[in-house]
Structure 1
């Protein structure tokens, strides 16, 4: 049985989404502050990669070069597989319509976050936020949180000119983002993989591929499945390795054997 937002998911259909997915505009004061702060940010950044929870995703092609801000979910490219059952691709590269469905009973802010992720998980360029080749996972996860209603602060912000290398470390680095969330318990609560039964759609998943203590990849939880025997399976979406509804277990056993997953339960 698949549980979305704590409710049995008996009907999986792709819901019609609003055509507008623009993030809130910034005040001139915030833009000025970011430009001043960006001047002191180093260009070299260690960045992480991607994540999901089976809730939604209508993707455009991986080589799509259109700005993510101008894209609309309605009419976006959909996978040929229209299966409405529980069948899913564990690697998250070819999600079915069932996997792309969003539970509209989730809180409105979470729906907005997941809609943004679904509309842009395959985008490889962005006029507003830029795109970090091979390292765009946290940049993308941060965008979804902005779409959810988060506001920037002195440590978590993006460059107003669209240069991701000039954004704050916490905006683009998996390890720096972990440190930021640890310092802001009002925004998120840390969970281990042993606590995955507490994970919900819209939460953040992070990976330490080599169990070295840092964070190597970041994604957005898209779904949580509960098997009859009580086994909990978490799926996520993200950039860098463009995925929607990739299985966490697949990621830490097949893609990066021995990897460790961590979660951040987003407040509110």
Structure 2
């Protein structure tokens, strides 16, 4: 680069030198920004995938500039977990579940505190019912309040509809009716293993080929969305109730389990509140479904 002294020797005036210095400074700033320097403005450029399952859990990679300013990422307003900025400047995040496990296309928003990080193109994410668990949870959150009694009946009048509803969800998950587990013609003909909690428990125990594994309430770290929760309200070795896990969240080191089901028709019923407030002293266990 020519020095100011040499430029003066060839007749370049002070005003021209000022213009040249400004141009040089601008070029340096542009290249510094392009190289991801401290002066770079945060920007999102690419997302590794724009579609996934209803239950979430997929890890996505976001590239861009100055992403070390990012504080959180949301999908349709729901916060992603495990947001990590790598040494190479890329960002990874774990996709949250779709709201109420319903198919939808939502906006991905990358945030630096309260400011939206601009993106070079519109970013969206499509939740699709593509797995057995997706189909199970989609059904449960669609019918926890709006009973599908035209197809499966309503067993509340004969003791409760909780097992009937859980069985419906397992059918949606891909399980098939058998001679022991069935519900035909809107509950005009149904088996005890389908609609009666103690009989369902015995059937799960006697049918290992289903692959269901029993877990205690102390093994919450192994529980996932779509698993079953069985309750003994009075701790008298007689099972009273069954629901399906609809949320598993680690909050300050504690695994918080929520459930969907009938008989106290709920979409996100808290497990700990159920066994301490609703039914103090109640016991139970999980069935982990493969």
Q: Is the structural similarity TM-score above 0.5?
A: yes
Map 1:1-268; keep pairs closer than 5 Å: 11=74, 13=76, 57=100, 104=127, 108-124=131-147, 126-133=149-156, 135-159=160-184, 161-163=185-187, 166-187=189-210, 188-228=212-252, 230-267=253-290
Q: TM-score, normalised by structure 2?
A: 0.56
Distance 1:7 1:175, change over 3 A: farther
Alignment length (residue pairs):
182
Give distance in 2, aligned partners of 1:241 and 1:174. 15
How far off its partner does 1:123 sit?
Answer: 2.1
Q: Which has the higher strand share?
A: 2
Give the RMSD, CA atoms, in angstroms: 3.0
Q: Deviations over 1:212-237 (max 9, x none)?
A: 11211111110111123x21111100
More relative contact order, 1 or 2 (CA 8 Å, 6+ apart): 1
Give distance in 2, aligned partners of 1:201 and 1:255. 22
Higher-Rg structure is: 2
**Contact in 2 for aligned 1:55/1:114 (Cα 8 Å):** no
**Contact in 2 for aligned 1:209/1:258 (Cα 8 Å):** yes
SS of the residue aligned with 2:149?
Answer: coil
Q: Deviations over 1:121-144 (max 9, x none)?
A: 002451111001260001000001
**Contact in 2 for aligned 1:248/1:261 (Cα 8 Å):** no
